[in-house]
Amino acid sequence: MKQSNSNLKFPKHFLWGAATSAHQVEGDTHNQWTVWELENSLSLATRSSYHFEDLENWPDIKAAAKDPNNYVSAQGVDHYTRYEQDFDLLQRMHMNAFRFSIEWSRVEPKNGAWDVAAIEHYKQYVKELRRRGIEPVVTLFHFTLPVWFDELGGFERRANVKYFTRFAEKIVRELGIDVRYIVTINEPEVYVGASYVTGEWPPSKMSKWTAWRVLSNLAYAHNQTAKAIHGINRRYKVSIAKNSSYVYAGDNAWLSRLSANILQYLKDDYFLKKVIKQCDWLGMNYYFSDRVYGYRVHNPDVHLSDLGWDMSPENIQHALERLHEKYHLPIIITENGLADATDEQRQWWITQTLVAMQKAMKNGVKLEGYLHWSLLDNFEWDKGFWPRFGLVKVDFKTKARTLRPSALWFGKIIKYIRETQ
């Protein structure tokens, strides 16, 4: 590895880290997702064979996928109480950045009523990161909402955006100078698609009209919140974490090329154009590409992750270059990774990604950080606990953590890069 290491060149202050979200790791949350999980765990378990039995690893995941408890976040991986132990793991991998989300439902369990202990928790949390020389990247909305906000109509109503902005301002004032990087909204189209188009996530509505309204309101929410945060202090660096795939035509037919362009526009630019003026940088979450034939996406099914997603880590280069050329902002990769329970693919995936990042940087992309999804095995939304995204393996019964071989390797790479730049 030494040989190829020496070709890796990254800026001195590059952010090397991992990412999580509160509901997926903390445990004991009470929000609109918790309510939905309890109502839907049985049907998710019953329908699991329909969704997953074609996967090669079905025999390995079958027991978990058919168990209703798999779909209830419950104790999560108990990160809420074990966060110091988890920060030790970041340090063991020589990381200097960590992305996490603040659970709004903890901080404001009732409309307008702040929970002082929860706020204190996050203040300590951030201080603990700072003490270890780790840059916090704070997300404010990562798919979960307080029940009271959901009951008011959530982001379906533009008039509700003021509550989100109020929460954001409160958090930013409380965390103060310990925080610089803020992500207002995680993956707007993924949330809207699953919650309002396919109905797979709460509130399980299937209405394209409502979906469009929620997407517009999320853009409005970002803009209002970014303005409010900058009003507190211009030093804050605000962005969204944009789900960004690389869409390409699988053949040279005009229809394939046209469809790829339209799809890429709808996936990326439609939303980005609405918020870009209120972004200081661009957060990019990359997991896969979309290959288009005619007007359909048909990905190669030769190299698949545990979730059956096409693995083309190298295409992150094109996704980065495209965003750079269109928006000219510094970019941080706010999520990137794969479900890989046996850890056979992760090292290869990260290597391909680092090489692609280097190529993109040579071609002018101002890349400032890489945050791997995820630090820990966690609760993968409507799929539950079986997809293993963690650099750190978690025993869900004992909550014991073990760095996977790929994590030990990645830690050495980061150390080498940071020491030699």
* Binding residues vs ligand BGC (CB under 6 A): 21, 24, 186-187, 190, 285, 335, 373, 380
What is the nearest approach in angstroms of ligand BGC to the Cβ of residue 21? 5
The Cα 49–Cα 46 span in angstroms is 7
255 contacts: CB under 8 Å, gap ≥ 6? 294, 295
Identify whether the C-beta of residue 347 lies closer than 8 Å to the C-beta of residue 410. Answer: yes
Q: Using the minimum distance from each CB to ligand BGC, give the nearer residue, 152 or 190.
A: 190
Q: Which two tokens stand for residue 407?
A: 């994590």
Distance in Å, CB of 123 to ligand BGC, minimum = 24
| Nearer Cβ to ligand BGC (24/217) | 24
Question: Least distance (Å) from ligand BGC to the CB of residue 156?
Answer: 21
Measured from the CB atom, is 135 or 335 closer to ligand BGC? Answer: 335
Nearest approach, Cβ of 388 to ligand BGC (angstroms)?
Answer: 11
Pick 249 or 284: Cβ nearer ligand BGC: 284
**Residue 334 beta carbon to ligand BGC: minimum distance, rounded to whole angstroms:** 9
- Who contacts 167 (Cβ-Cβ below 8 Å, separation ≥6)? 104, 107, 108, 140
Given the complex with ligand BGC, which of 119 and 138 has the nearer CB atom?
138
With CA atoms as reference, report the closest residue to 334 among 221, 243, 406: 243
- Residue 245, helix vs strand vs coil: coil
What contacts 64, CB < 8 A, 6 or more positions away? 70, 384, 385, 386
Question: What backbone phi and psi angles, to 5 degrees, belong to 102?
Answer: -90, 125
- Minimum distance between the CB of residue 104 and ligand BGC, rounded to whole angstroms? 15
d(CA 284, CA 5): 24
Of 335 and 368, the one with the shorter C-beta distance to ligand BGC is 335
Distance CA 296, CA 294 (A): 6
Report in angstroms how near the CB of residue 71 gets to ligand BGC at its nearest.
Answer: 14
Cβ distance to ligand BGC smaller for residue 36 or 373: 373
DSSP state of 285: E
296: exposed, middle or buried (C-beta count within 10 Å: 0-12, 13-18, 19+)? exposed
| DSSP code string of 331-353 | EEEEEE----TT-SSHHHHHHHH
